[in-house]
Structure 1
Amino acid sequence: MTDDVLVERRDGVQVVTINRPQARNALTRAVAEAVAAAVDELDASDELRVGVLTGAGGTFSAGMDLKAFLRGETPAIEGRGLCGITQTPPRKPLIGAVEGWALAGGFELLLACDLVVAAEDARFGVPEVKRSLVAAGGGALLLSRRVPVNLAMEMLLTGEPLGAPRAAEVGLVNRLTPAGGALDGALELAATIAANGPLALAATKAVARGGADWTFEEGWARQAEIIGPVFASEDAREGATAFAEKRAPVWRGR
């Protein structure tokens, strides 16, 4: 990884920190490649169960680095989207931990996250139209799947930000914390998730994420394909055995 992105492991949780506070964690090509490599590691590692994506210095991310954009640089990775996650999110759960601003591409990274924990004074926005740009990293395409359509349209067409309390009211944010507490709140949530069966987590995410694009009949068929191996796994037997024996399960991911 580069100094622009810091990656660490904490008890089965991978913490990925965008580390350009002097530039409000604006997204460059180097940041994009490092974040993509981190989530690839998240999915490949048997030791990692959940990812947390955050920003250093009290800001999540101000979005694409416009100076880099003028140089012809892009933080989108072909076939994978912004930072390698907006088109192809990781298989494992990913939590966004937000302090300060999450704007433009920074906000779009949150749409690739499954859960969001935010400080009470955090703010979210898609101001691309103010620069005659389009929220093409997932904002225009996906925001209306996360919030009511009329609110999505207001955010996208005015470019005006939304405060964290309101974002929580409409379901965009799962948990609010005091200022400075977003990462700790995200780690607490991640620990709860990481205690569950890893095969079941990945399969549940696949069904929940994919279901929006499937017809009713297709959904049942696709779900059966995804969950069949989970129900036949050693972990499924371990889960039932641990329940019967009144002990904590020991997951092996198989």
Structure 2
Amino acid sequence: MSDAPIRTRREGGILEVTLDRPKANAIDLATSRIMGDVFAEFRDDPDMRVAIVTAAGEKFFCPGWDLKAAAGGDAVDGDYGVGGFGGLQELPGLNKPVIAAINGICCGGGLELALSCDMILAAEHATFALPEIRSGTVADAASIKLPKRIPYHIAMEMLFTGRWLDAEEAHRWGFVNRITTKEALMDEAWKLARHLEAGPPLVFAAIKEVVREAENMKFQDALDKITSRTFETVDTLYGSEDMLEGFNAFSEKRDPVWKGR
């Protein structure tokens, strides 16, 4: 449907998810539920390896919560769907790489959506902020995530003042991996996605589970869970054909052929 808020494009093991809600790509409850279903399907499809999240147009990536929808009856504590707001930040068991391609204004819940991805590419005109303070509310997910991603004092300045960062500053503080021209953004995102698509999916899954679960664990406790194969993805990896394939490919001086099993 031409008026669908989410468009998807699938090529091989790569899924491109485009938020398309003119004029600003704000997310209401219905859109969030659709996004959750899309990302859950991506998570559960064994043929899917990598996702790219972007938005239509060149001005806005996403300003976050649709305040007009909220004024019309969308409750802030309503049903966001299986993945929480934006379909990603609370989706359980998502052990595949997700790339954000930021094509414009990225603020509030839009920045929280980007922070839910594993890597962030930004067009040179992209800007970032957490303006919730000016509306008398809290940027909940960002308050948890951002001080762990960038220097504490910069994160607190963003949260306390709502000030805007351009792409260069966002890159300097480390929550943007790479800056591109607006024309090259999606080409670069797909180039990165194809690189990841060719990688070992079981290793990616193990990395994501370990990073996620170890965040609030002591180092030795997390390491013990890895070496004892207590993490499900690590146990799967250590008993897999792919792990043996990696050893064989190295010894035979050839590229490995990953099967995801």
TM-score grouping bracket, smaller chain normalisation:
over 0.9
Q: 1:12, 1:223 → 2: CA distance?
A: 28
Matched, 1:7 2:8: yes
Q: 1:200, 1:239 → 2: CA distance?
A: 11
Whether the 8 Å contact between 1:100 and 1:119 is mirrored in structure 2 is yes
Q: 1:109, 1:31 → 2: CA distance?
A: 13
Whether the 8 Å contact between 2:8 and 2:17 is mirrored in structure 1 is yes
Q: 1:222, 1:182 → 2: CA distance?
A: 39
Q: Classify 1:194/1:116 alpha carbon distance in 2 versus 1 (closer, same or farther; 3 Å).
A: same
Q: Secondary structure of the equivalent of 1:52?
A: strand
Q: Which amino acid aligns with 2:46?
A: D
- The 5 A counterparts of 1:3-42 are 3-20=4-21, 22-42=22-42
One of 131, 143, 147 as aligned partner of 2:146: 143
One of 129, 135, 149 as aligned partner of 2:133: 129
**1:153 shift after superposition:** 0.5
Q: Which amino acid aligns with 1:228?
A: D
2:210 is aligned to 207
Q: Which amino acid aligns with 2:188?
A: G
**1:249 shift after superposition:** 2.4
**Which segments of 5 or more consecutive residues in structure 1 lack a partner in the other structure?**
none
Between 1:209-218 and 1:111-120, the stretch displaced more is: 209-218
Whether the 8 Å contact between 1:76 and 1:83 is mirrored in structure 2 is no
Whether the 8 Å contact between 2:36 and 2:91 is mirrored in structure 1 is no
**1:229 shift after superposition:** 2.3
2:54 is aligned to 54
Q: Which amino acid aligns with 1:9?
A: R
TM-score by length of 2: 0.90
Q: 1:7, 1:144 → 2: CA distance?
A: 32
**1:253 shift after superposition:** 1.4
Q: 1:44, 1:88 → 2: CA distance?
A: 12
Whether the 8 Å contact between 1:96 and 1:117 is mirrored in structure 2 is yes
1:223 is aligned to 226
**1:250 shift after superposition:** 2.4
Matched, 1:67 2:68: yes
Q: Which amino acid aligns with 1:130?
A: R
Q: 1:109, 1:84 → 2: CA distance?
A: 8
Q: Which amino acid aligns with 1:133?
A: T
Between 1:64-73 and 1:87-96, the stretch displaced more is: 87-96
Q: 2:130, 2:247 → 1: CA distance?
A: 45
- The 5 A counterparts of 1:70-219 are 70-73=71-74, 74=76, 77=80, 80-88=83-91, 90-136=94-140, 138-219=141-222
Whether the 8 Å contact between 1:124 and 1:163 is mirrored in structure 2 is yes
**1:56 shift after superposition:** 0.5
- Please, what is the CA RMSD of the aligned residues? 1.8
Q: Secondary structure of the equivalent of 1:130?
A: helix
TM-score by length of 1: 0.93
Q: 1:240, 1:251 → 2: CA distance?
A: 12
2:257 is aligned to 250
Q: 1:182, 1:209 → 2: CA distance?
A: 28
**Which segments of 5 or more consecutive residues in structure 2 lack a partner in the other structure?**
none
Between 1:242-251 and 1:208-217, the stretch displaced more is: 242-251
Q: 1:180, 1:245 → 2: CA distance?
A: 41
Q: 1:33, 1:17 → 2: CA distance?
A: 15
Aligned length: 252
**1:45 shift after superposition:** 1.1
Q: 1:151, 1:10 → 2: CA distance?
A: 38
Q: Classify 1:67/1:40 alpha carbon distance in 2 versus 1 (closer, same or farther; 3 Å).
A: same
